Protein backbone atom coordinates (compact mmCIF):
# COMPACT_ATOMS: atom_id res chain seq x y z
CA UNK A 1 0.00 0.00 0.00
CA UNK A 2 1.52 3.32 -1.03
CA UNK A 3 1.61 6.22 1.38
CA UNK A 4 0.11 9.56 0.35
CA UNK A 5 2.58 12.04 -1.13
CA UNK A 6 2.41 14.23 1.99
CA UNK A 7 4.31 11.66 4.03
CA UNK A 8 8.08 11.47 4.32
CA UNK A 9 10.06 8.90 2.34
CA UNK A 10 13.53 7.72 3.43
CA UNK A 11 16.37 8.81 1.16
CA UNK A 12 17.77 5.26 1.10
CA UNK A 13 16.38 1.77 0.93
CA UNK A 14 16.68 -0.06 4.25
CA UNK A 15 15.80 -3.63 5.14
CA UNK A 16 13.39 -3.97 8.05
CA UNK A 17 16.28 -4.95 10.32
CA UNK A 18 18.32 -1.91 9.20
CA UNK A 19 15.29 0.34 9.67
CA UNK A 20 14.82 -0.89 13.24
CA UNK A 21 18.53 -0.40 13.98
CA UNK A 22 18.39 3.15 12.61
CA UNK A 23 15.38 3.90 14.81
CA UNK A 24 17.15 2.37 17.80
CA UNK A 25 20.24 4.54 17.18
CA UNK A 26 18.30 7.79 16.75
CA UNK A 27 18.18 8.81 20.46
CA UNK A 28 21.98 8.52 20.78
CA UNK A 29 22.49 10.51 17.57
CA UNK A 30 20.11 13.18 18.85
CA UNK A 31 21.81 13.27 22.26
CA UNK A 32 25.24 13.74 20.63
CA UNK A 33 23.95 16.83 18.81
CA UNK A 34 21.88 18.38 21.61
CA UNK A 35 23.78 17.58 24.83
CA UNK A 36 26.70 19.99 24.25
CA UNK A 37 24.41 22.95 23.45
CA UNK A 38 23.85 25.74 25.96
CA UNK A 39 20.52 27.47 26.65
CA UNK A 40 21.19 30.31 24.21
CA UNK A 41 21.95 27.90 21.38
CA UNK A 42 18.92 25.74 22.16
CA UNK A 43 16.49 28.68 22.10
CA UNK A 44 17.93 30.61 19.13
CA UNK A 45 15.49 30.74 16.20
CA UNK A 46 16.13 31.21 12.52
CA UNK A 47 13.44 33.13 10.65
CA UNK A 48 10.37 30.95 10.23
CA UNK A 49 11.97 27.91 11.89
CA UNK A 50 11.61 26.23 15.24
CA UNK A 51 14.54 26.56 17.62
CA UNK A 52 16.53 23.42 18.46
CA UNK A 53 14.59 23.20 21.74
CA UNK A 54 11.23 23.50 19.98
CA UNK A 55 12.28 20.83 17.51
CA UNK A 56 13.42 18.66 20.41
CA UNK A 57 9.98 19.06 22.01
CA UNK A 58 8.44 17.95 18.71
CA UNK A 59 10.86 15.03 18.53
CA UNK A 60 9.64 13.90 21.96
CA UNK A 61 6.02 14.29 20.87
CA UNK A 62 6.50 12.26 17.71
CA UNK A 63 8.39 9.52 19.57
CA UNK A 64 5.34 9.22 21.85
CA UNK A 65 2.59 9.63 19.25
CA UNK A 66 4.11 7.37 16.60
CA UNK A 67 5.06 4.80 19.22
CA UNK A 68 1.43 4.59 20.35
CA UNK A 69 0.15 4.54 16.77
CA UNK A 70 2.52 1.70 15.88
CA UNK A 71 1.33 -0.22 18.94
CA UNK A 72 -2.33 0.30 18.01
CA UNK A 73 -1.63 -0.84 14.47
CA UNK A 74 0.25 -3.91 15.73
CA UNK A 75 -2.38 -4.97 18.25
CA UNK A 76 -5.73 -3.66 16.96
CA UNK A 77 -7.48 -4.27 13.66
CA UNK A 78 -7.25 -1.20 11.42
CA UNK A 79 -7.44 1.31 14.32
CA UNK A 80 -8.33 4.98 13.95
CA UNK A 81 -5.17 7.11 14.35
CA UNK A 82 -6.14 10.61 15.54
CA UNK A 83 -4.16 13.59 14.41
CA UNK A 84 -2.81 16.25 16.78
CA UNK A 85 -1.81 19.91 16.48
CA UNK A 86 1.98 19.64 16.48
CA UNK A 87 2.52 23.41 16.44
CA UNK A 88 0.32 23.88 19.48
CA UNK A 89 1.98 21.01 21.36
CA UNK A 90 5.40 22.54 20.68
CA UNK A 91 4.30 26.09 21.57
CA UNK A 92 2.44 25.09 24.73
CA UNK A 93 5.09 22.73 26.08
CA UNK A 94 6.46 23.96 29.41
CA UNK A 95 9.88 22.39 28.73
CA UNK A 96 12.76 24.86 28.78
CA UNK A 97 16.47 24.54 28.02
CA UNK A 98 17.19 22.99 31.42
CA UNK A 99 14.74 20.20 30.52
CA UNK A 100 16.73 19.10 27.44
CA UNK A 101 18.34 16.11 29.26
CA UNK A 102 14.91 14.94 30.45
CA UNK A 103 13.48 15.33 26.93
CA UNK A 104 16.35 13.23 25.56
CA UNK A 105 15.68 10.59 28.23
CA UNK A 106 11.96 10.53 27.35
CA UNK A 107 12.74 10.11 23.66
CA UNK A 108 15.11 7.23 24.43
CA UNK A 109 12.53 5.51 26.65
CA UNK A 110 9.70 5.82 24.14
CA UNK A 111 11.99 4.67 21.36
CA UNK A 112 13.16 1.62 23.31
CA UNK A 113 9.55 0.47 23.68
CA UNK A 114 8.82 1.06 19.98
CA UNK A 115 11.95 -0.80 18.88
CA UNK A 116 11.08 -3.71 21.15
CA UNK A 117 7.62 -3.88 19.58
CA UNK A 118 8.95 -3.70 16.01
CA UNK A 119 11.59 -6.36 16.66
CA UNK A 120 8.88 -8.73 17.89
CA UNK A 121 6.61 -8.26 14.86
CA UNK A 122 6.19 -11.31 12.65
CA UNK A 123 6.72 -10.59 8.92
CA UNK A 124 2.96 -10.40 8.29
CA UNK A 125 2.64 -7.82 11.08
CA UNK A 126 4.35 -5.22 8.92
CA UNK A 127 1.33 -5.24 6.58
CA UNK A 128 -1.14 -4.27 9.32
CA UNK A 129 -3.04 -1.04 8.71
CA UNK A 130 -4.53 1.91 10.52
CA UNK A 131 -6.80 4.78 9.48
CA UNK A 132 -5.01 8.09 9.95
CA UNK A 133 -7.33 11.04 10.48
CA UNK A 134 -5.54 13.10 7.79
CA UNK A 135 -3.74 10.61 5.52
CA UNK A 136 -6.35 7.85 5.43
CA UNK A 137 -5.37 4.19 5.43
CA UNK A 138 -1.67 3.61 6.18
CA UNK A 139 0.31 0.38 6.27
CA UNK A 140 2.59 -0.14 9.25
CA UNK A 141 5.80 -0.75 7.32
CA UNK A 142 5.37 2.38 5.20
CA UNK A 143 4.39 4.35 8.26
CA UNK A 144 7.49 3.24 10.18
CA UNK A 145 9.62 4.26 7.18
CA UNK A 146 7.82 7.61 7.17
CA UNK A 147 8.68 8.09 10.85
CA UNK A 148 12.35 7.34 10.20
CA UNK A 149 12.48 9.91 7.36
CA UNK A 150 10.56 12.42 9.50
CA UNK A 151 13.11 12.07 12.29
CA UNK A 152 16.04 12.38 9.88
CA UNK A 153 14.59 15.70 8.71
CA UNK A 154 14.24 16.98 12.27
CA UNK A 155 17.70 15.75 13.26
CA UNK A 156 19.11 17.86 10.42
CA UNK A 157 16.88 20.77 11.48
CA UNK A 158 18.27 20.65 15.02
CA UNK A 159 21.83 20.44 13.73
CA UNK A 160 21.27 23.47 11.51
CA UNK A 161 19.63 25.46 14.33
CA UNK A 162 22.58 24.79 16.62
CA UNK A 163 25.15 25.60 13.93
CA UNK A 164 23.85 29.14 13.37
Fold of 22-163: 1.20.120
pLDDT in tens, 98-129: 999 999 999 999 999 999 999 999 999 999 99
The domain locations on the chain are 22-163
pLDDT in tens, 40-97: 999 999 788 899 999 999 999 999 999 999 999 999 999 999 999 999 999 999 999 9
What's the gap between Cα 66 and its chain centre?
A: 7
Closest of 71, 35, 85 to residue 56, by C-alpha? 35
Amino acid sequence: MAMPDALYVPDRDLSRAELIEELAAMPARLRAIVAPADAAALTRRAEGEWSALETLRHFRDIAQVYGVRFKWMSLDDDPFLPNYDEDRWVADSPDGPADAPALLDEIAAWRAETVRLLRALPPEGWARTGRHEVFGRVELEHYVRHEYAHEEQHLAQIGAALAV
